[in-house]
Structure 1
Amino acid sequence: MRIAAFCDFYDDGPRPLRLIIQAEPGELDWSRTLYIPVSGPFQPFEAEDYNDLPGASVLLEDLVRPKDAALDSDTTIGILLPQIADRHRTEILQLMVQMDDVEEVLKFQSPLLHRLV
C-alpha cells in the first residue's frame, strides 16, 4: 500500500491537499475499517501518478477517529471501507482523502498539516 500526499503551494511552501492511498488488488478488506497514520512525512504525489486505477473519493462521513487504545487517535484516521464499497460496488484501488476532512476529524491545526509533507 502506498500513502502519498498531493500538494499545492500556498503562502511560503507546499500544503498537502489530498492523501492518496493506492492498494494492490485484494489488499483492502472492504468489510473493515482501514486505519492509516497521518503524521507524515508522506511521499509526494504528482498528477501523473493517478494512473488509470479505479478510485473513489473518501467523504467526511467515511472518516473516524480510532477507538482502539493501541492506535494513536491524534495521528491516525479510520476509513470506513464498507461504506465506500456500498457506494461503488467495484474493486477500488485508489482512495482520495481531502486533507481538510482529515483536519476536521482530527481537529488538527494548520501548522501541523504543513509538516505532513
Structure 2
Amino acid sequence: MRIRAFCDFYNEAYRPLQLVIKCEPGELDWTKTLYISLPSPLEPLEAEDYGDERGVSVLMDDLVNQADDDSLLGILLPQIYRRHGESFELLIVQMDDVEEILQLDRYY
C-alpha cells in the first residue's frame, strides 16, 4: 500500500488536496475497516501518476477515527463496497475530510 497526496494551488498556496491510497489487487479486505497512519511529510503525486488503476472517491461518511489512537484514519471499506459492488486499486479522499475527521492541520 502506498499513501501519497495530490497537490495543487488552492487559495494562493500549493497544498495537498487529495489523499491517494494505492493498493495492489486483492490487498484490501473489503469486509473490514481499513485503518491507516498518514506519513509525514506526505509524498506528492502528479496527475499523470494516477495511471490506469481503477479508483473510487471516499466520502466523508466513509471515514472514521479510531478512539484509541486519534492519529489513525479509518476507511469503512464495506460501506464503499456496498455502494459500488466491486473493489478498487485507488482510494481517493479529500484532504479537507481527512483534516475534519482527524482534526489536523499539520499536513501543510
Asked whether the two chains share a fold, i.e. TM above 0.5, the reply is: yes
Identity in percent: 56
Give 1:49 deviation, angstroms: 0.9
Matched, 1:105 2:101: yes
- TM-score by length of structure 2 reads 0.91
1:1-117 maps to which residues of 2 (within 5 A)? 1-10=1-10, 13-67=13-67, 69=68, 72-73=69-70, 75-109=71-105, 112-114=106-108
Mapped to 1, the partners of 2:14 and 2:40 lie a distance apart of: 14
Give 1:12 deviation, angstroms: 7.1
- TM-score by length of structure 1 reads 0.84
Structure 1 unmatched ranges of 5 or more: none
Query: What letter is aligned with 2:86?
Result: T
Give 1:14 deviation, angstroms: 2.6
Number of residue pairs matched by the alignment: 108
Asked if 1 retains the 8 angstrom alpha-carbon contact of 2:19 and 2:94, the reply is yes
- SS of the equivalent of 2:96 reads helix
Asked if 1 retains the 8 angstrom alpha-carbon contact of 2:6 and 2:18, the reply is yes
Mapped to 2, the partners of 1:107 and 1:39 lie a distance apart of: 16
Mapped to 1, the partners of 2:47 and 2:38 lie a distance apart of: 20
What is the alpha-carbon root mean square deviation over aligned residues? 1.6
Query: What letter is aligned with 1:17?
Result: L
Give 1:107 deviation, angstroms: 1.8
Runs of 4+ in 1 over 4 A off after TM superposition: 10-13
Asked if 2 retains the 8 angstrom alpha-carbon contact of 1:7 and 1:18, the reply is yes
